[in-house]
Structure 1
Amino acid sequence: MAEVIPVKEFHRRLNAQGVSGRQHVALRCPMCGTVQSATSLIKAGAGSDFDAVEKYLGFSCVGRFTGAGSPREKPDGEPCNWTLGGVFTLHTLEVETTDGKRHPRFEVATPEEAQALEASHG
């Protein structure tokens, strides 16, 4: 069963990561464990800027844009081709908007993970 949090709590968790901007907030793919951000998606070719990749952030693994294969039996931190838009509902987080709708999302990365990812992107 997925954890359900209100959108304000989702934003609070992202803001608590302490990164320098929205392009660096980080989420973790529930299937492979890869920590990724909008910058990761841009570098993978998913789009040219935040606005172009925002629809994929926390919904489609960066591996979908790098030619990665399916998730492995155990998360290994290497990207996969997973997306939350498929038939299987294996996500662990849902964000509930003010209209009561629930949206599946990747797990929010820890502040340490988000900051390390930002540093790795230079």
Structure 2
Amino acid sequence: MKTMTVTEFHGALIAQGVKREDLALICPMCQTVQSATDLIAAGAGSNFDEVEKYLGFSCVGRFTGAGTPRKDPDGAACNWTLGGLFALHKLEVVTEDGKRHPRFEPATPDQAMQHALKQGGAA
């Protein structure tokens, strides 16, 4: 299991160099790159503040009616959430008190920029 401190996690997101709505994370099950922009478009909320609780925790497919995770990623979002029974995530963010919180892994800066551009956003 990969771990990061909250500071390291925030640093990885800031390093993406995109607007906060375009901060990108990768679902551990379907491997799709997704952002708050995707969650808003899927109807999870109308702005960043409303979807932030889902970002990096629930796949955008939960809000689009996507099917369950597939054996092999096919580029489509799934309905995975890290709040379920199975712990199949790859990253835990560790808070100062030592508590571990499952999260989707941050995308690379290049992945985040490409995703933002594809979604009509810009850095």
TM bucket normalised to smaller: over 0.9
What pairs up with 1:26-105 in 2 under 5 angstroms?
Answer: 26-105=24-103
Question: What is the DSSP-based 3-state SS (H/G/I as helix, E as strand, rest coil) of the residue aligned with 1:39?
Answer: helix
What are the ranges of 5 or more consecutive residues in structure 2 without an aligned counterpart?
Answer: none
Partner residue in 1 for 2:4: 5
Question: What is the DSSP-based 3-state SS (H/G/I as helix, E as strand, rest coil) of the residue aligned with 2:92?
Answer: strand
Counterpart-to-counterpart distance in 2, 1:31 and 1:55: 19
**TM-score, with normalisation over the residues of structure 2?**
0.95
Q: Percent same amino acid at aligned positions?
A: 68
Partner residue in 2 for 1:22: 20
Structure 1 position 99, deviation (Å): 1.9
Counterpart-to-counterpart distance in 1, 2:112 and 2:100: 24
Paired positions, count = 120
Counterpart-to-counterpart distance in 2, 1:74 and 1:110: 21
Structure 1 position 77, deviation (Å): 2.1
Counterpart-to-counterpart distance in 1, 2:96 and 2:52: 20
Counterpart-to-counterpart distance in 1, 2:61 and 2:96: 31
What code does the residue aligned with 2:74 have?
D
Counterpart-to-counterpart distance in 2, 1:18 and 1:82: 27
Counterpart-to-counterpart distance in 2, 1:89 and 1:110: 23
What code does the residue aligned with 1:89 have?
A
Task: Say if 1:93 and 1:106, in contact at 8 Å, map to a contact too.
Answer: yes
CA RMSD of superposed structures (Å): 0.8
